[in-house]
Structure 1
Amino acid sequence: MGGACSRKRDHLVNEDGLSGRVSGRYMKSGSSKWLGASMSRSSTDANQGNQSCPSLIDLCIHKIREDVDKYVSFSMLPRDISQQILDDLISSQCLTDSVLEAFRDCALQDLNMGEYPGVNDSWMDIVSSQGQSLLSVDLSASDITDLGLAYLRDCENLQTVNLNYCDQISDKGLEQLSGLSKLDTLSFRRNCLITARGLGFLSGLVNLVKLDLERCPNIHGGLYHLKGLSKLDSLNLNCCNCITDTDMKALSGLTSLTSLQIASTGVTDLGIAFLKGLRNLTLLNMEGCRVTAACLESLTALTALMYLNFSRCRLTDDGCEKLAQLHSLKVLNLGFNEITSAILVHVKGLKNLESLNLDSCGINDDGMVHLAGLSNLKSLELSDTEVGDNGLRHISGLLGLEILNLSFTSVTDGGLRKLSGLSSLKSLNLDARQITDAGLAALTNLTGLRHLDLFGARITDFGTNFLKSFKNLRSLEICGGGLTDAGVKNIKELTSLNLLNLSQNHHLTDRSLESISGLTRLVSLNISNSRVTSVGLQHLKSLKNLKSLMLESCKVTASDIRKLQATHLPSLVNFRPE
C-alpha cells in the first residue's frame, strides 16, 4: 500500500531529542515509543537555542569546572551548590575518578550518572558516602556488578534506582537491594542474568510503585513474588518473551496497577482474561502479542482504560464490535493489523478519543466517514493506508487535530486543499512521491505547523517559496532530490528550526551550508548524498547547538568533522562519517 519512496518505513530516526550522551544500547525500545508518538509533538519541542544571560552561580560553576583539579573537597559547600557542580561535571563529561573523590560526604540527593563512561564498582564508595541523604541514583549502562550494589545498603532512604543495561548484575545484586524498604522506583531494563528467583528479593519492597523489567528474558514464573506489592502502580514487561499467560495470573491481585506493558511477550487472550480485576488500569500495551479481538470481552471490564495499544497483534474485523464499549479510551493504536474500514463503525462512538493509529491497515476512503464525529481527536495516523483525496473531506471538520500522518497514502495535491481549515495542525507528514509544489501551496494557511515531513515528496526550488508561511517550523524534511542551492535560500528564513533534513538532494553544494549558517537553533542537520565538501564546513561554525551532523556520501571526512567539533561545535555528539 502507498507510494514508493527512497526511505524505508521502519527507519525512523529520532533526532529531536538527542541527549548529551548517546549510546546504542541505551535507547527507548519500539514497544515503549507508541504512547509518546500518540501525543502532540508540540509538547516535546526542543527549546534549543534560547540563549539567556548566565546567572552568577552559573559563572561560578563554570569557573570551578575549569579548575576542578584544584579542589580537594566540596563537602563544606551547601548541598544544592555541590549538586549543581556535580551535575555540570557530568553533563560536560569532566567527571573523573580523582574529581569524584571531592564529592565524598557531600550529602547529595541525586546521582544521575546513567550512560556516563567509566562508572564501575570503584565509584560506589563515594556514592554510598552520601548516606541517608541519597534519594535517587542512576547507574544505567555502567560496569557496576553485584559487589558494587552492596554499597547501596547504607543509603537506606533511597527512593529511585535505575540500573538499565547493567549486564553484570544478577540475582545477587537484587538481594543487595532487598533491604531498601523506601524504594518506590526500580528499573532493570535489558538484563539477562536476573531470574525468577531474583524477583523473590523484591517481595519486601512494599513501597514499590514503579518496576521496569523490560527485556529481561529469564523472569518467567517469578512474578508471583510481586503479589504483596500492593502499591505497585506501573509494571513494564515489554519484550520479555518468556512471559506467558500464567504470569498474567500472578498479576491478577495487583489492583493498584494503572499501567501494564506486556508488548512482544507470549501473552494470549487467555492471559488477558486474568486482568479483568485490574479496575484501575488506564494503560495497557499489548503490541506484538498473540491476542485477537476475543480479548476485548475481558477489556470491557476495565472501565478506566484510556490508553490501549493493539499494534502488530492478530486483530481482524471479526469480533471488534466490543471496541465500541471502551468509552473511556483516549489513545487507541490498531496499526499493522489485518483490519479494514469496517472496523471504524465501532470506533465512531469513542467520543473521548484523542489519538487513533491506523498505520498499515486496510483503511480506505469509505471508512473515513466514521471519523467525522470524533471532535476531540488530536492525532491521526493513516500512513500506508488506502486513504485518498475523498477520504480527507471527512476529517476536514476535526478542528482540534494537531498531528496528521498521510505518508505512503494515495492523497494528492488536490486533496490537500481539504486540510486548509485545520488551523490547529502542528505536525504533518506528507512523505509520498505524488505530493508536489502545488500541494505545498495548498497548505499555506497552516501557519501553526511546527513539524513538516516532505521526505519523498517532489518539492523543487519553486516550492520552497511557500515555506515562508511556516515561520514556526521546528523540523523540516525535504529529501526528494529536487532542491538546489537556490531553494535552500528560502529555508534560511525559518530561524526556529531545530531539525533540518535535506539528504538525497544531489545538487546541493557548499553554498547551501552558507545559507543554513544563520539557523543557529539547529540541533540536527542532514545533508547526506550531496556535493558538500570539507571547504563548506566553515559555514557551520555558528551552529553552536548542533548535536547531530550527517554528511554521508559527501566529500567530507571524519577528520574534517572532528576538527570542526573540537574548535567550534562543542555540543556535537553524533556525526557521519565517523
Structure 2
Amino acid sequence: MRTATLALVLALAPTASAPADDRAAAEKLKDAKVEVKFDKAGTAVGVFCKESHLLTPEHFKLIGSLKGLKELTLYNKCPLTDENLALLADLPALEKVGIDGATFSDAGMKHMAGWKALKQMTFFHELNKKEFTGAGLAHLKGLPQFESFGCGGSPFTDAGMEAAASLPHLKDLRVWHTLNTDAGTAKLKGAAKLRSVWLAPQFTTRITDASLEALAACPSLEEVKVTETRLTWAGLQHLTKLPNLKKLTLDETDVSDADLAKLKEALPKVEVARKPPTEQQLKWLADRFDKPKK
C-alpha cells in the first residue's frame, strides 16, 4: 500500500510543481515586458508582449517551458527566427497565436507542427522576404483543429495559398497586403471546408474578377470579403453559384452602381456591405487597371 501511495505521489509531482515553475518563468519574463495570464490553478495560459523586440533566446526558452500555454501574442518586431521558433516547438496546449514582425522561414515553420491544439494563427508583417512565402503552412496539415489562418503585410505568395488550401480543417482564411494573385485563389478550389475568406490586394491588380470565379468553386463559403481592388459583373456573377453565401463585403472596391444593383438583385438573401473607395484610392486603381500592359 505504501509503495502504491509513493508511486502516486511521484507521478503527481511534476504536475504539482508546474504552477510554481510557471510563476518563476513569468517573473523572469518581466524584464522583456511580457505579461503572463494564469488560470485558477496557477498554470500559465496566456502570454502577451507588445514590445517583443526585447525578447532574447532565453526569453523564448522560458515561454517554451509553459506547457499549459493556450494563447501567444507577440507584437512589435518580434525576433522570432527559425532558431527561436524551435524553442517554442513543444507547446501542445497552444490554441491561438498572433505574431508581428517575425523573420522565420517556410522551413522553420516545421517547429509549429507540435502545436496539436492550434485553432487560430495570424502573422502580421513577416519580414523574411527571401525565405518566407507561406508554403511552410504545409508543415501544419497534421494539426487536427487548425481552422483559421491570417497573414498580412507579408511576402505571402501563391505558394502560400496552395499550402493553405492543403489544410484539411481550414474554415477561415484572411490574406491582406500580400503577394498572392488570382492564380493563388484558384488553389482554394480544394478547400472543402472553407467558410470565410478575405482578400485585400492593396489597390493592385493581383486580385480581380478571376478570383471570384475561383471562389465560386468553394460551395461551403458563407462569407466573402474582397477589398481594395476593382470588380465587375463579369466576376461578381459567379458568386450566385455559392449556395451558402450569407455576407459579401466589398469595402474600398471599385464597383459600378449598375453592377452593384445587379448583384443585389441576384443575391436578395445575401447581406452586401460596401464602403466606397476614396478619390485617391480610385486614382490608384485607375493607374493600375487602366494603364496599357507593356
Q: State TM-score, norm by structure 1.
A: 0.38
Deviation at 1:282, TM superposition (A): 1.8
Q: Distance in 2 between matches of 1:158 and 1:199?
A: 19
Q: Is the 8 A contact 2:199 2:225 kept in 1?
A: yes
Q: Is the 8 A contact 1:200 1:225 kept in 2?
A: yes
Q: Is the 8 A contact 2:191 2:218 kept in 1?
A: yes
Give a deviation string over 1:381-417, Cα, whole Å, max 9, x none.
xxxxxxxxxxxxxxxxxxxxxxxxxxxxxxxxxxxxx
Q: Is the 8 A contact 1:128 1:155 kept in 2?
A: yes
Q: Is the 8 A contact 2:133 2:160 kept in 1?
A: yes
Deviation at 1:127, TM superposition (A): 1.6
The alignment partner of 1:188 has SS state of: strand
1:106 maps to 66
Structure 1 residues 263 and 290: CA distance shift in structure 2, 3 A:
same
Give a deviation string over 1:455-492, Cα, whole Å, max 9, x none.
xxxxxxxxxxxxxxxxxxxxxxxxxxxxxxxxxxxxxx
Give a deviation string over 1:504-531, Cα, whole Å, max 9, x none.
xxxxxxxxxxxxxxxxxxxxxxxxxxxx
Structure 1 residues 175 and 66: CA distance shift in structure 2, 3 A:
closer
1:297 aligns with 2:262: yes
Structure 1 residues 67 and 222: CA distance shift in structure 2, 3 A:
closer
Deviation at 1:272, TM superposition (A): 0.8
Structure 1 residues 307 and 79: CA distance shift in structure 2, 3 A:
farther
1:511 maps to none
The alignment partner of 2:97 has SS state of: strand
**1:124 is aligned with what amino acid?**
L
Counterpart of 2:140 (choices 163, 173, 177) is 177
1:154 maps to 114
Counterpart of 1:277 (choices 241, 248, 256) is 241
Q: Distance in 1 between matches of 2:209 and 2:219?
A: 18
1:128 aligns with 2:81: no
| Correspondences of 1:383-462 after superposition (within 5 Å) | none
Give a deviation string over 1:5-55, Cα, whole Å, max 9, x none.
xxxxxxxxxxxxxxxxxxxxxxxxxxxxxxxxxxxxxxxxxxxxxxxxxxx
Give a deviation string over 1:62-102, Cα, whole Å, max 9, x none.
99637968xxxx9xx99853235x44xx3576754323323
| Correspondences of 1:272-351 after superposition (within 5 Å) | 272-278=236-242, 279-312=244-277
Q: Distance in 2 between matches of 1:203 and 1:124?
A: 24
Q: Distance in 2 between matches of 1:64 and 1:183?
A: 27
Counterpart of 2:100 (choices 112, 117, 140) is 140
Structure 1 residues 100 and 180: CA distance shift in structure 2, 3 A:
same
Q: Is the 8 A contact 1:230 1:256 kept in 2?
A: yes
Deviation at 1:244, TM superposition (A): 1.6
Q: Is the 8 A contact 1:174 1:199 kept in 2?
A: no
Q: Distance in 2 between matches of 1:266 and 1:151?
A: 39
**2:214 is aligned with what amino acid?**
A
The alignment partner of 1:83 has SS state of: strand
CA RMSD of the aligned region, Å? 3.5
Deviation at 1:297, TM superposition (A): 1.5
Please identify the structure whose Cα radius of gyration is greater: 1
Deviation at 1:252, TM superposition (A): 0.8
The alignment partner of 1:283 has SS state of: strand
Deviation at 1:196, TM superposition (A): 2.5
Deviation at 1:309, TM superposition (A): 0.3
1:223 aligns with 2:185: yes
Deviation at 1:237, TM superposition (A): 0.6
Deviation at 1:287, TM superposition (A): 2.0
1:245 aligns with 2:209: yes
Q: Is the 8 A contact 2:254 2:277 kept in 1?
A: yes
1:345 maps to none
* Structure 2 alignment gaps of length 5 or more: 1-18, 283-294
Q: Distance in 2 between matches of 1:183 and 1:258?
A: 18
**2:145 is aligned with what amino acid?**
K
1:165 aligns with 2:125: yes
Structure 1 residues 308 and 146: CA distance shift in structure 2, 3 A:
same
The alignment partner of 1:163 has SS state of: strand
Q: Of Structure 1 and Structure 2, which has the larger fraction of its residues in helix? A: 2
1:118 maps to 79
Identity of paired residues, percent?
Answer: 19
**2:70 is aligned with what amino acid?**
Q
Counterpart of 2:227 (choices 259, 263, 285) is 263
Number of corresponding residues:
247
Structure 1 residues 237 and 273: CA distance shift in structure 2, 3 A:
same
Q: Is the 8 A contact 1:159 1:184 kept in 2?
A: yes
1:201 maps to 163
Deviation at 1:166, TM superposition (A): 0.5
* Structure 1 alignment gaps of length 5 or more: 1-56, 315-335, 338-578
**2:148 is aligned with what amino acid?**
T
1:348 maps to none
Q: Is the 8 A contact 1:291 1:313 kept in 2?
A: no
The alignment partner of 2:273 has SS state of: strand
Q: Distance in 1 between matches of 2:269 and 2:154?
A: 32
Q: Is the 8 A contact 1:158 1:180 kept in 2?
A: yes
Deviation at 1:231, TM superposition (A): 2.7
The alignment partner of 2:224 has SS state of: strand
2:9 maps to none
Structure 1 residues 92 and 248: CA distance shift in structure 2, 3 A:
closer
Q: Distance in 1 between matches of 2:85 and 2:113?
A: 11
1:65 maps to 27
Q: Distance in 2 between matches of 1:153 and 1:283?
A: 33
**2:94 is aligned with what amino acid?**
L
Deviation at 1:185, TM superposition (A): 0.8
Structure 1 residues 170 and 157: CA distance shift in structure 2, 3 A:
same
Structure 1 residues 222 and 155: CA distance shift in structure 2, 3 A:
same
Q: Is the 8 A contact 1:181 1:205 kept in 2?
A: no
Q: Is the 8 A contact 2:25 2:63 kept in 1?
A: no
